[in-house]
Structure formats: C-alpha cells, structure tokens
Amino acid sequence: MKRPPSRVANRRLNSAVRALPTCKSPVGLGAKRTTGAPIAALVARAPCPVKRAAVSLGQAGTNRIREERMKRRTIVAGSLGVLAFPSIVVAQEKFPSRPIRLVVPYPPGGPTDIVGRLVGEKMAQVLGTQIVVDNKAGAAGMVGSNDVAKNSKPDGYTLLVGTSSSHTVGPLTAAKPLFDPVKDFEHIAIVGYNAAAIAASLAMPANLKDFVALQKASPGKYSYGTSGPGGMAHLGGELFKQRAGDLKVEVVHYRGAAPMVQDLLAGNIAWGIDTLSSTLPHHKAGKLRVLCVGLDRRSKAAPDIPTAAEAGVPNYNVYTFNVISAPAGVPKPIVDQLGNAFQTAMKDATLIDKLEQAGVTPTPESGPAHATRTVQAEIDKWGPVVKAAGVVVQ
C-alpha cells in the first residue's frame, strides 16, 4: 500500500533534522543540548539556527520548516526585546521606593529644624514613605547645604531645608562660596517666610515714627545688635538704617541671637533685629517691644504688630525663608512629584496652624518654579546691600 504524501514528507523531515548539527540554547533559556530529536521535541526546546537540508522534502515538509522557523524567530525576538531594554524597566521604578533623607543644616530644636520636621512628616504621609531628618549643622547652614549640593546623588532621595542664610546671605558674603544657590540645586518649594522684627528696649519710644525721630536727633548715640556679622540680621539692620532716612547708629555683633536679646532686655543696646518667632515671646511678656515686622502683611501669630510700611518706614521687606531643595540634576518628573507632594501636604489645616504659631507665614501654593524665582530674586535684592556694606566673610 502506498503511504500518504504527508507521512512521506514527515519521514523525510525527521531524517533531515537528525542530519543537522547539534546546538545549544541561548544562555539563560534553560534548554539542553539536543541531538537527533523529532521535530516536535526540538521546537519545544530552545531555538537554534536551522540550515537548509540538501534533500527534497516536498511541499508539506517545506511549509512545516517555515512554520518552525517563524516560531523560533518570534521566541528569540521576544527574548531579545526584554534583554535589550533593561533601562526602561529601571527608569519606570516607582518613586519613592525607599526612605528620603531630609538634611537640616542647623542643630535640632531650632526654627529650621521645627519647620523641617513639621513639613517632612506630612510630606512623608503624602508620598507613602519615611522622611528621615539629618541635622548637619555648621557655618550658618553652609556645611549641610554644601553636602547636599556637592556630595549627594541627584535621585530625589536627599532633600534640604535651606534658609536665607544658606541660599542668599552666605553665598553673597563668603569670600569663597562653596556652592551656587541657584545652579547647584533643584528648588522644590518655599515653605514660608519668617518676618524680621525691629525689637526695641523698653527705654525707647513705643512707636516706630518716634523711635526713628529720636535717633535722627542724636546721631551716633544709639546702637543696635545683631546675631553676628554678615547674617540676615546684619543686612536687615543696615537696610533699615537706609530706609529710615540714613540713621547714624552703631552696630554691635553678638555670637548668636540669645546674647543679643539678653543685652537688649538689659537695656545695653537701644534695639536689635531678629526673626519674629524669636522675639515674639519677649514682646508678649512685656520685656521688649516689637515695633514692626519686615513683611508686606501682618503675621497671624502677632496681628497687633504693624508692618514697617504701616508704621512709617516704606519698602522695608526683610525676612528669612525656608526652601526645600534637592541636588541639581534630579529628573524633572521627580521634582514635580515632590512639588505636588508639598502642595498636598500644605492643604492640611493643622500643619498650617503649627507653622503660623511658629512665626512662619506659609506659602502653600509654592512649587519648583516659584521657589527658583524666589531664590534668584533674594540674591538680586541683597547683592547690592552686601556690596555697599562691604561685608566679606572669610
């Protein structure tokens, strides 16, 4: 009996396959070395190139070879597609997938530390991860800020709570700045502003106009105190002298705000300049008078204290700010995600209330673009003042 053509073709196909050289599967696919296996078993295992057999297989056999080649090519192409694009898998890794380090460049318990912990805690809830505060104090915030700018990987897992000292005054007054506050950071958001306060001894007049008039009438008689040379208090004091009509007042620098306030309470200096959050407790206790604040609106923590413009000294906008920053080079999607997390966190009424009680005027709508503009604007504002005062910190 004559065999059907399909069986003849199958016999010839299997004979041809047995005649092919043995092959190994690609690394990692797990197929074993194959010798002389039937075609079904061969296809089930890893693919290998099939050479044209020097035999006539008939139309049915030829079609089967073509089908098996197409299957193998599909398998290989799919495998190579996965191997060829591992970077896509990495790039799509969810952020954040581990805790974020938040550098506070000042000691624990200070105003910046309080702000950083309050905002960091709420942002951690929004992002679904931990935010660990790392206090790296030194050189008025420059040590911790430089660590973030120069020594941290730009992946979004290291953030900084910067201030006016670290992002404006420090770089402007340093003989050799450690970093560029604009180019070396990706700014995420401005948390808020802490107004400067003109705080006077109880021996001085109780309103700003009489306070200024008294000093104009006696040039060189009075002195004011700051927390140290080259800081925001120093620059704010010099700007106040200019805006008030070029007062002739001597400056006394202290090693920090605490000793300055003590001398002010004792009446050893006529007035001093510090943040509202630092001077407000003494004002409320009746131990000194805060005559005005350096913002364009009154603080909710002290609505009875007028702005400088309201009290008679226009164009006096002096404050410190807190900015959340990351190292330059963090991908824009991550910067935007962090900015959105900040804005979401700042919708919490309890957080806003705590910041206001700490003397901060929050800016809940701030984001990366606003923060970057603010830092640049502060540098532009204070640069001429630093130059005119001749302040250089070695």
Tens digit of pLDDT for each residue in 31-79?
333 334 433 333 333 444 434 333 333 444 555 545 555 444 443 334 3
Question: Can you list the alpha helix ranges (DSSP code H) found in 85-110?
Answer: 86-91
Q: Which of 319, 350, 380 is the last residue of a domain?
A: 319
User: Residue 285: CB partners within 8 Å, gap ≥ 6?
Assistant: none
Q: What is the count of structural domains for the chain? A: 3
Run of H or E including 332: helix 332-345
Q: How many CA atoms lie within 13 A of 174 on its CB side?
A: 18
The length of the chain in residues reads 394
Identify the pLDDT of residue 328: 98
Are 286 and 305 contained in the same domain?
yes
- For residues 201 and 351, give the distance between their C-alpha atoms in angstroms, rounded to a whole number: 33
> φ and ψ at 217, to 5 degrees?
-75, -20
| In-domain check, residue 168 | yes
Identify the pLDDT of residue 394: 76
User: Residue 243: CB partners within 8 Å, gap ≥ 6?
Assistant: 308, 313, 314, 315, 316
Residue with tokens 């030829």: 62
Task: Supply the CATH number for residue 293's domain.
Answer: 3.40.190.10
Identify the pLDDT of residue 258: 86
Q: Where are the beta strands (DSSP E) in the chain?
A: 100-104, 131-135, 158-163, 185-200, 223-226, 250-253, 271-275, 289-293, 319-327, 361-362
Contact 202, 145 (CB under 8 A): no
| In-domain check, residue 394 | no
Ranges in the chain, pLDDT < 70: 1-92
User: Which domain range does residue 19 map to?
Assistant: 5-89
The answer to whether the bond into 229 is cis (omega within 30° of 0) is no
Identify the pLDDT of residue 67: 53
- For residues 344 and 14, give the distance between their C-alpha atoms in angstroms, rounded to a whole number: 68
Q: Which of 62, 89, 116 is the last residue of a domain?
A: 89
Identify the pLDDT of residue 15: 43
| In-domain check, residue 94 | no
Are 208 and 150 contained in the same domain?
no
